[in-house]
Amino acid sequence: MKSFFSGILALFIVSAILLLSDISNREKGKDALRQKPTSGTMFKLALVHYVDSPNSEDCEKGIRKALADKKLVEGVDFSLKIFNAQGDIATLNSIAESVGNETWDLVFALSTPTTQLFAKKLQGAKIVFTNVGDPQAAGLGKSYADHLSNLCGISTMSDFDGLIKLVQTLHPRIKCVGTVFTPVELNSVSFKNNLDISAKKQGIKLVAVPANSATEVLDAANSLVAQRIEAFCQISDNLTGSSSAAILKVSHDSRIPYYSFVTPQMKQGAVAVCGRDYFEAGVEAGQMGIEILSGTNPATIPYRNVEKTNYIISLEAARFFKIVVPDQVFKTFPTLTIMKPSSQK
């Protein structure tokens, strides 16, 4: 009998050692994740773009960075299927049906139209959004804390007061600025209205011209020039983001300075930006997704604004538009970064 119990004890010890070894191997590099849905399987993730744009691309890069930071390897720890509607609502509806026909551990939605549609059609899926300017205006919740139960995310609401203040510091006598907006995008309308409020507070008139296609964006930009705006203060949305080169060309051809909420547009010729960091928005959305994969209920995670804002000014663009950069701008914006002329890099 004694030898029998000794054998059982030995078997138990060996089994425990093997079990602990297996757990150690499976959990290596996954300190943020408490458990996988099923042992031996990968997380199945989907990521949906509405349109090709620098903002959306930066968000995807940020999400991938967040996953990599937690030692999660694509093809080993997770699969990631990318969808892109190319700015077409019919295609987005088709993608929603395709995604809805499968089971996913998590879906990343990278625009307001995508998030709205998926919130409606994929009520059983866990969704993390970003590149969404105003989640409340988009009907995604009563507040940042009281929202749809299967949804959470990172808002990229622009700093409208900040950009107007920056423009006014560089142009103390400015009275009229312009922007192109997209009426069919709730996010765009909300941004336009908020920019108008910020401009009025400083005694500045905002002229906003609508556009519903890439061709109309060019026409709208030319219309703003005809209405004698003194600067472009271009809001961020899906259409104008993917067509920003057209507005910037009009800006340079007319010698009317261009200011932006989108950091990558600095390389296209913007004088300055007051931009939410979309890469950082992607990182924060990815971190939020990891919380959900760890077992946290999306309903308990409040929406929040992306934490990082970039203030950047281009000396090359300022010189092109004959703008003198005063010392006051550095006192007003102590974190402002200078982008030097390409010849000095």
Distance CA 254, CA 281 (A): 34
Average pLDDT of the residues of the chain: 88
Q: Is the pLDDT reported for residue 18 higher than 50?
A: no
Q: Taking each helix axis from N to C terminus, what angle separates 278-293 and 54-69, rounded to the nearest 10 degrees?
A: 40
pLDDT of residue 11: 46
Mean pLDDT, rounded, for 166-171: 96
Confidence of residue 284 (pLDDT cuts 50, 70, 90): very high
Confidence of residue 17 (pLDDT cuts 50, 70, 90): very low
Render pLDDT for 59-98 as a digit per residue (tens, 0 to 9).
Answer: 999 999 999 999 999 999 999 999 999 989 999 999 999 9
* Topology classification of domain 43-156+279-305: Rossmann fold (3.40.50)
Contacts of 310 (CB under 8 A, 6+ apart): 263, 273, 274, 275, 276, 277, 337
CA angle in degrees (0–180, nearest 5) for 186-188-193 = 95
CA angle in degrees (0–180, nearest 5) for 193-48-94 = 100
Q: Is the pLDDT reported for residue 273 higher than 70?
A: yes
**Which token pair is 70?**
């937690």
Confidence of residue 29 (pLDDT cuts 50, 70, 90): very low
Render pLDDT for 91-133 as a digit per residue (tens, 0 to 9).
Answer: 999 999 999 999 999 999 999 999 999 999 999 999 999 999 8
pLDDT of residue 22: 37
Rounded alpha-carbon distances, angstroms, from residue 340 to 222, 267, 283: 29, 11, 27
3-state DSSP percent of the chain in helix, strand and coil, to 5: 45, 20, 35
Distance CA 335, CA 314 (A): 14
Sign of CA dihedral 203, 249, 114, 285: negative
CB 140 within 8 A of CB 115: yes
Is the pTM higher than 0.85?
A: no
| CATH C-level class of 160-277+308-344 | alpha beta
Considering the chain, tell me which residue range(s) the CATH 3.40.50.2300 domain(s) occupy.
Answer: 43-156+279-305, 160-277+308-344
Q: Is the pLDDT reported for residue 25 higher than 70?
A: no
Render pLDDT for 310-340 as a digit per residue (tens, 0 to 9).
Answer: 899 999 999 999 999 999 899 999 889 998 7
Return the closest-CA partner of residue 182 out of 137, 212, 227, 207. Answer: 212
Give the dihedral of Cα atoms 334, 66, 63, 297; nearest 10 deg.
-110
- Report the phi/psi class of residue 228: left, alpha or beta, with left for phi > 0 and alpha for psi in -120 to 50: left
3-class SS at 215?
helix
Distance CA 14, CA 288 (A): 39
Return the closest-CA partner of residue 323 out of 96, 131, 203, 168. Answer: 168
DSSP alpha helix (H) spans, the chain = 2-27, 54-69, 89-100, 112-121, 160-170, 186-201, 214-226, 238-242, 244-254, 278-293, 315-320, 328-332
pLDDT of residue 33: 44
Q: Which amino acid is at 21?
A: S
